[in-house]
């Protein structure tokens, strides 16, 4: 990671340069996509409820892991006090706007849609042993467990974002969407002197970030074990959770790279080149390369252990995905997520050249989308004789989730400041590197 502490334009210039409204056609297109998705979901419920609920669940895994992974990555920036990220962190925080929708959709999946998605809900006798009967066989226990885990993760993440937004909302002129006026007023309430509040919020965010990291790692592993791996009731892998939630973070980095260039073009060019410049492009490229390499490592490690163990309970899972009609999809995932991006992102030139940067982001993002597909569908459909099940149901759910995600993301930036302007312009912004007692503003002893 680059070690640099960039300078930024004055506060007034940043506000003026980043206040251009989101284009109306983007919001209209997102709404149209959502409507198409809702209609497809309704048609699916009437014609093929199992298929539509499975498509619904597959897209939930994809969009939710990416959105939650984004907030976790911002929390990592706080844990390591990454000053280089100040100009891009808020653009990542916008992913959190989808979390309430994600929470609601999980509740629908594990309750109303449970018997259509999860084999053991429809037929408890499908579970092979008493341990899995205990863990999965009670539908109420299963549903409450998934909802509870996700609630804790999302509560921490939204709390973190709330405190991050509060720093800017409390100090910048009132502005933004009317629907968030009450929330902005609540953020301003009780705000004190700038220096003291910056230290206080920095300390609070650090505590939330560490708690979130622990719960994120544990919680998403549990969720992926239950909601993805356990769809095949005979299979188990201790690496599955790591592999799955790291895929979500990889997808976030690739999707954010595309959003980065969209925002760069959207902001006033004279300022955008200063705050979203070559240093940030290079650092994002290095992060993408690192996660691509890590995905390859965890994928190979999981396959290698199962191959030399040669236990039928494990090998059948990958054998199914390495025979027709699933083999072309599995091969495409490997090519798109690892084989193409890994050599493509090694060089600095490829990271810095915008066309190749965008190309590899699109390639890998498509690969992670297909990875979620190959995680879920073979376990539920076995060996279909009429080709892989990918049709209007899956396209409809893609439209639903994509439209809702874009709507949430754009509304977030219609309601709140688009950059962490206080952390970029406050004269106290670097004092927080040394923790203080916010009551006395005296430095804390090292052991505290």
> How high is the pLDDT of residue 445?
67
Question: Is the bond leading into 68 cis (omega within 30 degrees of zero)?
Answer: no
Rounded to whole angstroms, how far apart are CA atoms 263 and 278?
14
**Digit-coded pLDDT (tens) for 35-71:** 999 999 999 999 999 999 999 999 999 999 999 999 9
> How high is the pLDDT of residue 447?
46
> How high is the pLDDT of residue 1?
40
Alpha-carbon separation of residue 387 from 49, 151, 218, 240, 325 (angstroms): 20, 38, 36, 26, 6
Read off the pTM: 0.94
Question: Which parts of the chain register pLDDT below 70?
Answer: 1-6, 438, 440-441, 445-448
Q: Where are the domains of the chain?
A: 24-430
382: left (phi > 0), else alpha (psi -120 to 50), else beta?
left
Residue among 285, 268, 287 nearest 419 (CA): 268
**Digit-coded pLDDT (tens) for 299-318:** 888 888 888 888 888 899 99
Cα-to-chain-centroid distance, residue 160: 15
């Amino acid at each position: 990671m680059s070690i640099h502490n960039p300078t930024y334009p004055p506060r007034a210039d940043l506000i003026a340069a980043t206040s251009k409204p989101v284009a109306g056609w983007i919001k209209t297109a997102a709404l149209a996509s959502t409507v198409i998705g809702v209609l497809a979901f309704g048609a699916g419920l009437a014609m093929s409820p199992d298929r539509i609920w499975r498509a619904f669940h597959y897209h939930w895994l994809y969009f939710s892991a990416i959105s939650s992974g984004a907030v976790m990555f911002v929390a990592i920036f706080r844990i390591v006090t990454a000053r280089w990220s100040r100009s891009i962190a808020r653009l990542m925080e916008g992913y959190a706007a989808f979390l309430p929708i994600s929470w609601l959709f999980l509740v629908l999946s594990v309750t109303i849609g449970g018997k259509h998605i999860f084999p053991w809900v429809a037929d408890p006798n499908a579970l092979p042993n008493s341990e899995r009967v205990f863990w999965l066989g009670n539908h109420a226990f299963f549903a409450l467990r998934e909802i509870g885990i996700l609630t804790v993760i999302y509560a921490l993440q939204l709390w973190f974002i709330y405190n991050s937004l509060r720093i800017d909302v409390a100090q910048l002129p009132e502005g933004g969407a009317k629907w968030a006026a009450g929330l902005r007023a609540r953020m301003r309430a009780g705000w004190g002197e700038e220096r003291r509040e910056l230290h206080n919020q920095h300390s609070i965010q650090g505590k939330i970030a560490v708690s979130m990291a622990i719960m994120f790692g544990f919680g998403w592993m549990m969720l992926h074990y239950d909601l993805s791996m356990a769809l095949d009731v005979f299979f188990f892998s201790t690496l599955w959770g790591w592999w799955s939630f790291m895929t979500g973070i990889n997808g976030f980095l690739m999707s954010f790279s595309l959003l980065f260039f969209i925002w760069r073009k959207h902001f006033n060019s004279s300022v955008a080149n200063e705050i979203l410049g070559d240093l940030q492009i290079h650092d994002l490229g290095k992060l993408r390369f690192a996660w691509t390499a890590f995905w390859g490592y965890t994928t190979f490690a999981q396959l290698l252990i199962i191959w030399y163990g040669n236990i039928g309970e494990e090998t059948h899972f990958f054998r199914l995905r390495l025979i027709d009609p699933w083999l072309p999809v599995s091969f495409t995932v490997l090519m798109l997520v690892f084989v193409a991006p890994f050599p493509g992102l090694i060089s600095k030139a490829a990271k810095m050249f915008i066309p190749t940067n965008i190309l590899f982001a699109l390639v890998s993002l498509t690969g992670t989308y297909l990875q979620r597909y190959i995680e879920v569908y073979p376990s539920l459909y076995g060996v279909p004789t009429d080709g892989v099940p990918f049709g209007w149901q899956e396209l409809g759910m893609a439209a639903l989730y994509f439209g809702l995600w874009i709507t949430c993301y754009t509304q977030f930036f219609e309601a709140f400041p688009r950059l962490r302007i206080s952390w970029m312009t406050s004269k106290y912004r670097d004092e927080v590197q040394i923790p203080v007692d916010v009551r006395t503003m005296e430095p804390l002893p090292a052991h505290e």
